[in-house]
Amino acid sequence: MTKTARRRWSREFTSEVDGIAIGSGGPVLVHLYDQPAGDKWIDDAIPGKLALLDRACGEPKWTSPCEVGYGRGFGAGFGRKADVVVLGPSTSGNRIVRMSIETGELLAAAKLPVFDSALVGGDMCVVAGLDRIAAYDSETLKELWRYQRDGERYHAIARSGKRVFVMYSMKATKKRGVLALDAAKGRFDGIVVAPKQPTIHDLCADAGAVITLVDDLESALPQEALLKLLSQSTDEDLGRRGPSLLAFAPHASEGDAPLWFEKLTFADPDEGADLAVSADSGKLYITAGAMVEVRDSLTGRKLGDLAVPGLDERVGWQVAQGAGLLAEETRVSIFELPA
């Protein structure tokens, strides 16, 4: 029987939630905005505000207006100087801002090009746009490097230690793959999954593994692993396309043996429509609807299934150290998960 995850706390807001962040310890961040009457506004972004909540109980420590508002592209996290870092659209173009973790005071701000997703770390923030990947120092907010190559488009990013992993596609073929960049300099560091995939559903990483949700497992596997798959599969299995888990070591290159792989099966094909993965501290969390399946990220071993109320209506979902931070339309909750 599937268990329901224990809700540690919930916090309701009068404003709408559009972004969250949680680290390995300390408070959590919630980005909010107030919807204009009639859903009409002139600028590219609706003005936003940021709240810092106590991780243990959800009590707000402060709420402050934020230079980053609601619109295309968002990222938030914790810097290295007792600060928080937020990236996203503003009423004057995209920005990256630093705010005091103690008071919410604005410490610094800089302009950014338009982007779609961002990862915030204590050393740097990595942002992905359709035509470039760039990194910015989390303290000075200055650009550290930029990567772009003709013929490529970029869709998602993950980071594991000294490498940044990028889900990308070739403009000529529309096929997707995963490449690696050197996190310090932004230099191309190799192809990890060749651009042969009709789609890649998601990408995540922790210190020990990088996990992708590929659509065509056979074309992603090196020869030895492919032979193993063929020997263990029926004709029906081999003819079925759909999400498959493929995990590889953070130092891997194309042709290296994966850590593990598995074709996923669903009683109802619609179950895989909103499939997503996240990884933290050696655990892989696979979400589908309101369900979370927990696995060992290094081996793929199943550790359990949990139902998370509200997960199927999520605005945001992040996991850190066994705490699942869930954002719904006007509510934020923390659930206890296997760590």
Answer yes or no: are the C-beta atoms of 49 and 17 closer than 8 Å: no
pLDDT at 240: 66
Residue 71 lies in a domain: yes
pLDDT at 310: 97
Mean pLDDT of 314-335: 97
Q: 42 is in which domain, residue-wise?
A: 8-145
Mean pLDDT of 218-238: 79
* Range with the poorest average pLDDT among 68-82, 186-200, 242-256, 264-278: 264-278
Percent of the chain clearing pLDDT 70 (strictly above): 94
pLDDT at 237: 65
pLDDT band at 43 (very low <50, low <70, confident <90, very high): low
pLDDT at 268: 62
pLDDT at 238: 60
Q: What predicted TM-score, i.e. pTM, was given to this entire model?
A: 0.94
Residue 79 lies in a domain: yes
Residue 270 reports pLDDT greater than 70: no
**CATH number of the structural domain spanning residue 140:** 2.130.10.10
Residue 41 lies in a domain: yes
Mean pLDDT of 198-218: 96
* Range with the poorest average pLDDT among 68-72, 157-161, 272-276, 298-302: 272-276
Q: Is 142 exposed, middle or buried (0-12, 13-18, 19+ CB in 10 A)?
A: exposed
pLDDT at 86: 97
Sequence letter at residue 126:
V
pLDDT at 271: 64
Residue 239 reports pLDDT greater than 90: no
Which phi and psi angles does 307 have, rounded to 5°? -95, 130
pLDDT band at 100 (very low <50, low <70, confident <90, very high): very high
Residue 167 reports pLDDT greater than 70: yes
Residue 65 lies in a domain: yes
Question: What is the chain's mean pLDDT, rounded?
Answer: 93
CA gap 248, 297 in Å, rounded:
10
Residue 78 lies in a domain: yes
Percent of the chain clearing pLDDT 90 (strictly above): 83
Residue 318 lies in a domain: no
CA gap 287, 296 in Å, rounded:
15
Number of domains in the chain: 1
Residue 335 lies in a domain: no
